[in-house]
Amino acid sequence: MKGCSADTWQSFRRQEPTCTRELRALGAGVTSLNVGDRVGIPWLGYTCGECAYCRSGQENLCDRPRFTGYTRDGGFATHLVADARYCFPLGETGDDVAIAPLLCAGLIGWRSLVMAGQGRHLGIFGFGAAGHIIAQVARWQGRLVYAFTREGDLEAQRLAKSLGAEWAGASQEQAPVPLDAAIIFAPIGGLVPLALRAVRKGGRVVCAGIHMSDIPSFPYSILWQERQLVSVANLTRNDGIEFFRVAAQSSIRAHTSVFPLREANEVLSRLRAGQITGAAVLQP
Ligand SMILES: [Zn+2]
């Protein structure tokens, strides 16, 4: 495999690590990158290139994928070996800490936003790492954003408002207008019926998480009239290229909290408990 090694900064949305740092060495045959380049390594760190999905432009659904920090070593580490095909050149502009969250939360958020369609009124359920990045992209695109948070999470609601959200409230509350689409970033199945009720006829609900608790049963009437319920898995490299172009133009500012790498387990627990606003970044 064509590989390269880099030392790393990590960011993560729940448990999925991604990294940004500079290349220390290149494997034989790697011509697209140079030693010293700053690159980002996303969650989807390898695809086979041979299965039906890879050959049809859906490498995000590859039958034999490998994931950074999960089925590939690295991620929550000081150094890692990466597949050169899955290293995004990041240029030298911008701070590593600010860029790290774009590699995971930003990328999956971007694919979810594209999947949500072009509608003007966009609901975001779960206003954490991905939610607050994608809200900024949606605002930059001229959309109106409605942020749904845990009941009483005034800090997340304030963050949403400060980033230009039209409305922010608890997930159980009703949005002021019927939504064209809603993206669910929180891994809570109970949000699915709430989001379906919030979208208009023909509207779409996008589930962005890798895991979600069970979805409670709901009446067919809230799916009826051509509402759609879809999920998003991983990303293609084209998603990444498009997203970094958009990120540069839209001046996204990730709200980050920085922690030392040795505190990774504790930080993960705090993320699960919803005790971190925005994105967490681990620093080696
Ligand atoms: Zn494949």
pLDDT digit string, tens, across residues 256-267 = 889 998 998 898
Cα(155)–Cα(149) distance, integer angstroms:
10
Quick one: 117 and 198 in the same domain? yes
Cα(71)–Cα(229) distance, integer angstroms:
29
Which SS3 state, helix, strand or coil, does residue 122 take? Answer: strand
pLDDT digit string, tens, across residues 18-30 = 666 778 888 888 8
CATH code, 244:
3.90.180.10
Quick one: 121 and 59 in the same domain? no
Residue 98 contacts residue 253 (beta carbons within 8 Å): yes
Going from the Cα of 233 to the center of ligand 1, the distance in angstroms, rounded, reads: 14
Quick one: 32 and 95 in the same domain? yes
Instruction: Among 231, 251, 273, identify where a domain stops.
Output: 231
Q: Return mean pLDDT, the chain.
A: 89
Quick one: 118 and 133 in the same domain? yes
CATH code, 178:
3.40.50.720
pLDDT digit string, tens, across residues 231-276 = 999 889 999 989 989 988 888 888 888 999 899 889 888 887 878 8
Going from the Cα of 67 to the center of ligand 1, the distance in angstroms, rounded, reads: 13
Quick one: 204 and 135 in the same domain? yes
Cα(226)–Cα(208) distance, integer angstroms:
20
Quick one: 155 and 268 in the same domain? no
Cα(262)–Cα(53) distance, integer angstroms:
38
Quick one: 157 and 100 in the same domain? no
- What's the domain count of the chain? 2
Question: At residue 11, what is the residue type?
Answer: S
Quick one: 144 and 44 in the same domain? no
Quick one: 114 and 224 in the same domain? yes
Q: How confident is the model at residue 141 (pLDDT cuts 50, 70, 90)?
A: very high
230 - beta bridge partners? 206
Going from the Cα of 60 to the center of ligand 1, the distance in angstroms, rounded, reads: 8
Going from the Cα of 237 to the center of ligand 1, the distance in angstroms, rounded, reads: 13
Q: Which of 209, 72, 198, 189 is nearest to 129 (CA)?
A: 209
Going from the Cα of 57 to the center of ligand 1, the distance in angstroms, rounded, reads: 10
Put residue 87 in one of left, alpha, beta given phi > 0 → left and psi -120 to 50 → alpha: beta
Residue 121 contacts residue 144 (beta carbons within 8 Å): yes
| Domain region containing 271 | 3-105+234-283
Q: How confident is the model at residue 13 (pLDDT cuts 50, 70, 90)?
A: very low
17 - beta bridge partners? 12
Going from the Cα of 42 to the center of ligand 1, the distance in angstroms, rounded, reads: 16
Going from the Cα of 51 to the center of ligand 1, the distance in angstroms, rounded, reads: 4
Quick one: 55 and 73 in the same domain? yes
Residue 203 tokens read as 């509207």
Which SS3 state, helix, strand or coil, does residue 57 take? Answer: coil
Q: Is the pLDDT of residue 119 over 50?
A: yes
Quick one: 114 and 215 in the same domain? yes
Q: Which of 100, 70, 12 is nearest to 276 (CA)?
A: 12
Residue 48 tokens read as 């086979």
Quick one: 43 and 126 in the same domain? no
DSSP assigned state of 76: S
